[in-house]
Amino acid sequence: MTRLVFLDTETTGLDPDLHEIWEVACIVRNLPDDEGKADGKDEGEYVWQLPVDLGRADPFALNVGRFHERRWIGGGDGDLESGRMEGLHEPGARDLHERVVAPNLLGSWARMFAELTWGAHLVGAVVSFDEERLRRLLWRQGACPGWHYHLIDVENLAAGYLLGRARGIARVAPSTPQASAAAPPPPTAAPAVTEAVFAGRTSGNEMTLAVGVKGNRAAGYLCDGKKVEAWLEGDVKGNTLTLHGRDASTSVTATVDRAALHGNVTLAGATLPFSAQAATGQAGLYQSRRVLNGIATRIGWIVLPDGSQVGIRNNGGTRTPAPTLDPATAQARDDNGEIVRAERISGSTTVLGP
């Protein structure tokens, strides 16, 4: 089933680091499957008004969104029923669910919204604006945004449609063919991020991954901390990142911006959605490569933004959990007591070399 979520938000300003979402409105529709069968689960129209700190709001933005005219009164403690927020209920259209979300229920709302939009295509006007702020909001509330990384911007679709119609109307029969120079190739989109490292997990916590970006190059590592791992390399074009491992069936496709990376991991025939935050400080991707008694040994570590770490030691093809890394010194102590020194991985590091 493919789910479309037509989405719009109102915010207290344009700065995603300072301002907040005060209203979320969406229409949920499920497309028919290959057999023409439609699932009406969760379909409907939804409006939620969220608690915000007006002390940080931009008055101009509040006026644009008509905050003081449209803000509902309410938002007591409320409760949860059938997965929907039950605070103040404002009567509306027959399938319109309107709720004021109380401050103590914002985390519950975030988890419910993550479930409602899981795997869905978000549709809207400049929907990337709404998506970035919703993603940050869900992360702050401990929820995992799992919607599809491919966003659908209706303004782009409309512009292309109208331009196509205009060209079709203006098209005339060609006169005598004339030689013309070959059109130059389209310019390559500049990477949305020049240098960063991201670390996160798949939606079901099956795998942990970290990806470094530098210029138009990218390098990554994913593992389960036990026996499954893969090193990957690829590139960044605009806000699209693509990685491939040695095995052609292992890949990562994602959308990237300065704050986060989110998309899908394909591994052993399974596709797993993931999200990863920008890794700062000691968080990031590390590796150690050495030869012990003639056997190549490689250790990969992912240090997550919360300080936790996951990694695997590959000793001549035998994989075991990695020893604990001290990110402050970039060192670990192996089982035999030997100090292992690690290097940090960036997007320009070659990880698929010999």
Per residue in 183-233, pLDDT (tens digit) is 666 666 778 888 999 999 998 889 999 999 999 999 999 999 999 999 999
Alpha-carbon gap, residue 341 to 73, rounded angstroms: 59
Q: Which of 96-105, 255-264, 277-286 has the lowest mean pLDDT?
A: 96-105
Q: Which residue has the tokens 């919703």?
A: 134
Q: How confident is the model at residue 92 (pLDDT cuts 50, 70, 90)?
A: very low
Percent of the chain with pLDDT over 70: 86
Is 76 a residue whose pLDDT tops 50? no
Model's pTM, two decimal places? Answer: 0.54
Give the dihedral sign, CA 309/197/274/82.
positive
* pLDDT of 188: 64
User: Could you give the CA distance from residue 141 to residue 133 in angstroms, rounded to a whole number?
Assistant: 13
Mean pLDDT of 271-294: 91
Please list, in sequence order, all residues whose beta carbon lies within 8 angstroms of the beta carbon of residue 121, skipping any fewer than 6 positions away: 2, 3, 4, 5, 147, 148, 150, 151, 152
| DSSP 3-state percent helix, strand, coil across the chain (nearest 5) | 15, 40, 45
Query: Does residue 262 register a pLDDT over 50?
Result: yes
Check residues 149 and 21 and name the one with the higher pLDDT: 21
Q: What average pLDDT does the segment 122-151 reach?
A: 90
The pLDDT value recorded for residue 1 is 67
Average pLDDT on 292-296 reads 85
Report all structural domains of the chain as residue ranges with CATH numbers, in order of start: 3-153 (3.30.420.10), 189-349 (no CATH)
Tell me if residue 159 falls in helix, strand or coil: helix
Among 14-23, 27-36, 76-85, the minimum mean pLDDT is found in 76-85
| C-alpha distance from residue 246 to each of 58, 251, 353 (Å) | 50, 9, 10
pLDDT for 184? 63
Nearest to 11 by CA among 3, 21, 1: 21
Express as a percent the part of the chain with pLDDT over 90: 54
Q: Where are the alpha helices (DSSP H) in the chain?
A: 59-64, 67-70, 106-116, 127-140, 154-170
Q: Which helix (H) or strand (E) holds 100?
A: strand 96-100
Of 37-41, 70-74, 163-167, 260-264, the poorest mean pLDDT is in 163-167
Q: Do 208 and 342 form a contact (C-beta atoms < 8 A)?
A: no
Q: Which two tokens stand for residue 159?
A: 């512009």
Does pLDDT of 87 surpass 60? no
Query: Is 90 exceeded by the pLDDT of residue 15?
Result: no
Query: What band does 80 get if pLDDT is binned at 50, 70 and 90?
Result: very low
User: Does residue 13 have a pLDDT over 70?
Assistant: yes
Amino acid at 197: V
Q: Residue 116 to residues 44, 109, 185, 304: CA-CA distances in angstroms?
A: 11, 10, 41, 27
Give the per-residue pLDDT at 86. 38
Torsion on CA atoms 249, 251, 253, 254, rounded to nearest 10 = 150
| pLDDT tens digits for range 155-193 | 778 777 777 776 655 554 454 455 445 566 666 677 888
Q: Does residue 37 surpass a pLDDT of 90?
A: no
Q: Average pLDDT, whole number, for the chain?
A: 84
Report the alpha-carbon distance of residue 26 to residue 127 in Å, rounded. Answer: 12
**pLDDT for the residue numbered 322:** 96
Predicted pLDDT of residue 90: 38
The answer for residues whose C-beta is within 8 angstroms of residue 68's C-beta and 6 or more apart is 62
Inter-residue contact 31 to 4 (CB < 8 Å):
yes
Cα separation of 354 and 345, whole Å?
16
Residue 88's pLDDT is 33
The length of the chain, given as a count of residues: 354
